[in-house]
Chains A and B, each alone.
Chain A
Amino acid sequence: MATSDMGDIQVAERALQHHFADMEQQRDTASFGMWMFLLTEIMFFGGLFCAYLVYRASYYHAFVEGSQKMNITLGATNTAVLICSSLTMALGVRAAQMGKPKLMVILLLVTILFGFGFLGIKAVEYHEHWVNHEFPGPSFHFETGDPAHPATDPQHTEIYFSLYWAMTGLHALHMVIGIGLVAWLVIAGLMGAYTPHYYNPVENVGLYWHFVDLVWIYLFPMLYLISKKHGG
């Protein structure tokens, strides 16, 4: 429709920053900037992946025993929750592309709900590990729970748990930030900030959200699925 198109274009023009020649340059630049930022995030998590690789290669059995204390059901559920959130996020971006702001808002709100769901399940898991003395430091105390097989190498299982808490903790922090960013999109979206001619922030927050999902896609098998025996 011509009039809503005009309104859409005006919104886009107001959003054009002065140092760009046109909205296309601004969009390409903003998108490239977000991909570059995600590249730095890969290296940021990468340091932890490197530590994980080194210690798992050197102390495999200690890592197996630590991994068996992970709750695979909860971990797999969380993986599914994040995949669903990525779907709703992608559909939300699509709704912005199609000029359907109300649908976009609904989908983003569902994404936030999934995000909270993930954090809630994580909190349950963290609580479990905490009361079982599986937090590294002076309070750490590890037992396999199977009297026939005592802990092989509790010192290095403590390192497994250090990395577990550090990696999932850093990931959860990124989730919290992601939820905040999506909430900001909801508020701006309700105020009519995004149109088919201008939805850069929605697209770029989407990229960030999918990246956080991507990190978990690797964390889950690395931390939870090291060996076929598991405690639940």
Chain B
Amino acid sequence: MATAVQTVERENYLNSNYGIKSWLLTTDHKRIAVLYLISITAMFWLGGFFAMMIRLELLTPAGDLVSSDTYNKLFTMHGIIMVFFFLIPSVPAVIGNFLVPLMVGAKDLAFPRVNLLSWYLYMAGAITALVAMVTGGVDTGWTFYTPFSTTYSNTHVIGAAIGIFIAGFSSILTGLNFIVTIHRMRAPGMTWRRLPLFCWSNYAAAIIMVLGTPVIAITLLLVALERAFHIGVFNPQLGGDPLLFQHLFWFYSHPAVYIMILPGMGVISEIVACFSRKRVFGYEFVALASIAIAVLGFLVWAHHMFVAGISVYAALVFSLLSYLVAIPSAVKVFNWTATMYKGSISYNTPMLYAFGFIGLFTVGGLTGIFLSSLGLDVHVHDTYFVIAHFHYVMVGGMVMAYMAGLHFWWPKMTGKMYPEAWAKLSALLVFVGFNTTFFPLFILGYMGSPRRYHAYPPEFQVLNVLSTAGASILAVGYVLPMIYFVWSLRYGKDAGPNPWNATGLEWMTSSPPPTHNFDETPVVTWEAYDYEHQPQEEITVGH
């Protein structure tokens, strides 16, 4: 597979058309993925800025950097941006949009114009939420609990709620597009059992997007109506039940975390197989585990409400179900490990991030089991223990998977290789920075330090300072890829169609792919992850 030096650049999706109109009116799923990449990266940095402000405030026990009202706005906006405008769209809208049609052997998603509409809805939602933030902010927490959000808060709740409402429809349409595409647009011979696990994961996440998001949409609409017209659906003073809000909110927001993690798990499956040179162990189990997570994820939401006032019998039911949902995730971790056993492991950057994911997601997932236990939850609910738990799964898990996927498919998307040494350094900084930031929070939470407080008792300072120091290392780890990815666009080595010698239809077309993806519709006659029959060349790129 020698890569000949090409004197004439092939026509591909990037150079087929120039001009801003060709990008803003594109229906090519690959260009839309790039549009999402840019907007999501911007939102990530904005969310990160709020995180930095939070960690700066928490350097000292006194609430001296910002007022408590401002602090409330900081953690609210950090949460809203990171959850709704970064984590939920990131892997599906960027990597999924780019790859799902390629992986199934199609020319595009089922509904290309709807795909573009999704991006515009995302932008409209983001801008609406940003306007709310810039003109005064929101201070309710990303969870918008009533009646504070409906009645007592004096901030731009309606603006933020509308922004999320609009972005929700972006998510719904993306999920709809993925489900229809995977059902109806697979190339000849691409049976369900030959689908890459990345497709199975995005399919499962899409099911959640489509079934859960409408519920939070109507709930936020009710919050806005209640705020505007002073009706009392969630306000106890007017006969409403604030717990009903929480039920409806968490019915979506818990499965939402599986929207975030499932596509990331799909990325890990692809990378572990490639860099172990082995078929994923127990392919069917991993595929079905994705579906199981999607279904079971809908049955556990009230574990966020154990101490809110729900009936203890309901709490028992939800506690039991919450234990169950860990099982399919564990199945995946075991299967990835078994895939690596007796595999031929290479330590390229995507694989390093995958290692990080498997370890950190496991820690985060296990601490989730702690939280599912009613007795334990009474003590650690609303403490830093919870914050540490979800940052382990979301940042240690999901963001690492996103970085892994960006690195793995960067050559496919751009035709260029990133610089491997700098990438490895960044991965190390991310790992060290992440653990330094968030491990202390487990201890703080267990010791009783509550969340969403801008001041704390002096005995907690050492751990807080350690956490802030870690955050600055983590930030460097995230800044470096921004720089070298952009650098690689101009100066990176040419990648060729399959620099990793990976299986999968996306590697059988050029890098970057042509607008129509494949010169001829592929006909699939081989099983997924057919690494036994891949040529035995080593990965020579990037070492």
Interface centre among B176, B212, B218, B222 (most CB of A within 10 A): B218
Of B102-110, B148-156, B289-297, B501-509, which stretch is located at the interface? B102-110
User: Measured between alpha carbons, how far is A30 from B534 in the docked complex, in Å?
Assistant: 37
User: Measured between alpha carbons, how far is A142 from B231 in the docked complex, in Å?
Assistant: 14
User: Measured between alpha carbons, how far is A29 from B176 in the docked complex, in Å?
Assistant: 11
What is the chain A residue whose CB lies nearest that of B212? Answer: A43
User: Measured between alpha carbons, how far is A40 from B222 in the docked complex, in Å?
Assistant: 17
| Interface pair A36/B180, CB less than 8 Å apart | yes
User: Measured between alpha carbons, how far is A158 from B232 in the docked complex, in Å?
Assistant: 8
The reply on B211 being an interface residue by CB < 8 A is yes
The reply on A136 being an interface residue by CB < 8 A is yes
User: Measured between alpha carbons, how far is A55 from B245 in the docked complex, in Å?
Assistant: 12
Cβ 8 A contact of A29, one of B184, B213, B218, B231:
B184
User: Measured between alpha carbons, how far is A43 from B232 in the docked complex, in Å?
Assistant: 22
Of B235-243, B365-373, B444-452, B472-480, which stretch is located at the interface? B235-243
Known contacts A40-B210, A48-B218, A159-B240, A33 near B231 by CB under 8 Å: no
What is the chain B residue whose CB lies nearest that of A162? Answer: B231
User: Measured between alpha carbons, how far is A43 from B183 in the docked complex, in Å?
Assistant: 21
**A43-82 contact mask (Cβ, 8 Å, vs B): 1 or 0:** 1111110110011001100000000000000000000000
Number of contacting residues on B, CB 8 A? Answer: 39
What is the chain B residue whose CB lies nearest that of A156? Answer: B239
Least CB distance, B182 to chain A, in whole angstroms: 11
User: Measured between alpha carbons, how far is A162 from B221 in the docked complex, in Å?
Assistant: 13
**B223-247 contact mask (Cβ, 8 Å, vs A): 1 or 0:** 0010001111100001111001001
Least CB distance, A29 to chain B, in whole angstroms: 5
The reply on B46 being an interface residue by CB < 8 A is no
**Could you tell me which residues of chain A, from 11 to 36, have a CB within 8 Å of some CB in chain B?**
18-19, 21, 25, 28-29, 32-33, 36
The reply on B179 being an interface residue by CB < 8 A is yes
| Interface pair B185/A29, CB less than 8 Å apart | yes
Which B residues touch A55, using CB under 8 A? 241, 244
Known contacts A36-B176, A159-B240, A137 near B230 by CB under 8 Å: yes
**Could you tell me which residues of chain A, from 71 to 121, have a CB within 8 Å of some CB in chain B?**
none
User: Measured between alpha carbons, how far is A49 from B296 in the docked complex, in Å?
Assistant: 22
The reply on B132 being an interface residue by CB < 8 A is no
Known contacts A44-B214, A166-B225, A159 near B239 by CB under 8 Å: yes
Known contacts A18-B107, A39-B210, A54 near B180 by CB under 8 Å: no
Least CB distance, A141 to chain B, in whole angstroms: 14
Cβ 8 A contact of A51, one of B111, B114, B248:
B248
User: Measured between alpha carbons, how far is A171 from B67 in the docked complex, in Å?
Assistant: 44
User: Measured between alpha carbons, how far is A153 from B225 in the docked complex, in Å?
Assistant: 22
Least CB distance, B523 to chain A, in whole angstroms: 12
Which B residues touch A18, using CB under 8 A? 107
User: Measured between alpha carbons, how far is A198 from B111 in the docked complex, in Å?
Assistant: 17
**B514-527 contact mask (Cβ, 8 Å, vs A): 1 or 0:** 00000001000000
Cβ 8 A contact of A43, one of B106, B214, B230, B231:
B214
| Interface pair B239/A19, CB less than 8 Å apart | no
The reply on B219 being an interface residue by CB < 8 A is yes
Which B residues touch A153, using CB under 8 A? 239
User: Measured between alpha carbons, how far is A25 from B172 in the docked complex, in Å?
Assistant: 22
| Interface pair A19/B231, CB less than 8 Å apart | no
User: Measured between alpha carbons, how far is A186 from B322 in the docked complex, in Å?
Assistant: 51
Least CB distance, A216 to chain B, in whole angstroms: 17
| Interface pair B211/A39, CB less than 8 Å apart | yes
What is the chain A residue whose CB lies nearest that of B183? Answer: A32
What is the chain A residue whose CB lies nearest that of B243? Answer: A54
Cβ 8 A contact of B217, one of A44, A50, A156, A158:
A44
**A158-195 contact mask (Cβ, 8 Å, vs B): 1 or 0:** 11001100100000000000000000000000000000
The reply on A130 being an interface residue by CB < 8 A is no
| Interface pair A162/B219, CB less than 8 Å apart | no
The reply on B112 being an interface residue by CB < 8 A is yes
Known contacts A19-B106, A138-B230, A40 near B214 by CB under 8 Å: yes
Which B residues touch A156, using CB under 8 A? 239
Which B residues touch A155, using CB under 8 A? 232, 238-239
| Interface pair A158/B218, CB less than 8 Å apart | no
Known contacts A37-B176, A41-B214, A136-B232, A158 near B107 by CB under 8 Å: no
The reply on B215 being an interface residue by CB < 8 A is yes
Interface centre among A25, A47, A54, A162 (most CB of B within 10 A): A47
| Interface pair B238/A158, CB less than 8 Å apart | yes
What is the chain B residue whose CB lies nearest that of A39? Answer: B210
What is the chain A residue whose CB lies nearest that of B181? Answer: A29
Which A residues touch B248, using CB under 8 A? 47, 50-51
| Interface pair B211/A43, CB less than 8 Å apart | yes
| Interface pair A33/B230, CB less than 8 Å apart | no
Known contacts A36-B210, A37-B176, A51 near B108 by CB under 8 Å: no
Which A residues touch B217, using CB under 8 A? 44, 47
Least CB distance, B408 to chain A, in whole angstroms: 25
User: Measured between alpha carbons, how far is A48 from B217 in the docked complex, in Å?
Assistant: 11
Least CB distance, A156 to chain B, in whole angstroms: 5
Least CB distance, B121 to chain A, in whole angstroms: 14
What is the chain A residue whose CB lies nearest that of B112? Answer: A19
| Interface pair A40/B232, CB less than 8 Å apart | no
| Interface pair A43/B229, CB less than 8 Å apart | no
Cβ 8 A contact of A158, one of B180, B183, B225, B239:
B239
Least CB distance, B220 to chain A, in whole angstroms: 10
User: Measured between alpha carbons, how far is A29 from B210 in the docked complex, in Å?
Assistant: 17
User: Measured between alpha carbons, how far is A55 from B244 in the docked complex, in Å?
Assistant: 9
| Interface pair B106/A28, CB less than 8 Å apart | no
| Interface pair A40/B218, CB less than 8 Å apart | no
B residues with a Cβ closer than 8 A to A are 106-108, 110-112, 114, 172, 176, 179-180, 183-185, 210-215, 217-219, 222, 225, 229-233, 238-241, 244, 247-248, 251, 521
What are the 4 tightest A-B residue pairs by CB atom distance, in nearest-first order?
Answer: A155-B239, A47-B218, A44-B214, A43-B214
Apart from the given pairs A55-B241, A136-B230, 17 other A-B contacts in the complex at a CB distance below 8 Å: A19-B107, A29-B111, A29-B180, A32-B184, A33-B180, A36-B210, A40-B176, A41-B214, A43-B212, A43-B214, A51-B222, A136-B232, A138-B230, A155-B239, A158-B232, A158-B239, A166-B233
**Can you list 12 pairs linking A and B with CB atoms under 8 Å apart?**
A21-B521, A29-B110, A32-B180, A39-B211, A40-B172, A40-B213, A41-B214, A43-B214, A47-B217, A47-B251, A50-B247, A166-B233
